[in-house]
Amino acid sequence: MTSLIAIGGAVLKVIGLNPQKIGSRSESRVPAKPTFAGMDYQLTGLGEERIRLEFATLPLVMGGLDTLEILRGIHRNQTIVPYLRLGAAYAATLQGLVVVQSLDVDEDRLHPFTGVGRLVHGEAEMILVGDASAPSVGLTIGTGVVSALQGVFA
């Protein structure tokens, strides 16, 4: 039970590609209109919600490049996948459906024989496109759903 986060079929674990930091950002649209009595504010709904995930691995010691390639495939194909987080008592919580909007990967101290960095770290920025309770109408869920739900805690 070493899984911590699953983004579709990309499962980030304690050993392997390891999540280092998670952040989120959302905004509320509240346009204002001046009136004689002051300002009139209208609550017009929420804007997009973004999730930022920093990860790292030592690939020559702990592996993790296979998970990174799955994450790159999800990003390149713009696949809508479930975002799961491990919670108390090893119960996973579906945070929602996401699209990986940007993926930044850095390799430090390249190994002379493999050409792969001894330290690989990066950041994925995801946009929440579906509610955790039910998929939004018109969204096509990618193939990562089945593999994420079957192999999260393998």
List the alpha helices (DSSP H) in 3-107. Answer: 59-62, 65-76
Tell me what pLDDT residue 152 has: 44
Burial 15-35 (b: 16+ CB within 10 A, else e): ebbbbeeeeeeeeeeeeeeee
Q: Where are the domains of the chain?
A: 3-24+48-134
Using DSSP bridges, classify how beta strands 81-86 and 92-110 pair: parallel, antiparallel or unpaired.
antiparallel
Tell me what pLDDT residue 145 has: 44
Tell me what pLDDT residue 23 has: 94
Element (H, E) at 115: none
What's the token pair of residue 70? 């799955």
pLDDT tens profile 69-92: 999 999 999 999 999 988 777 788
DSSP summary character for residue 89: G
> In whole angstroms, what is the distance from residue 66 CA to residue 10 CA?
9
Count CB-CB contacts under 10 A for residue 146.
12
pLDDT tens profile 121-147: 999 999 999 876 654 444 444 444 444
The overall average pLDDT reported for the chain is: 83
pLDDT tens profile 95-127: 999 999 999 999 888 888 877 888 899 999 999
Contact between 132 and 96 under an 8 Å Cβ cutoff? The reply is yes
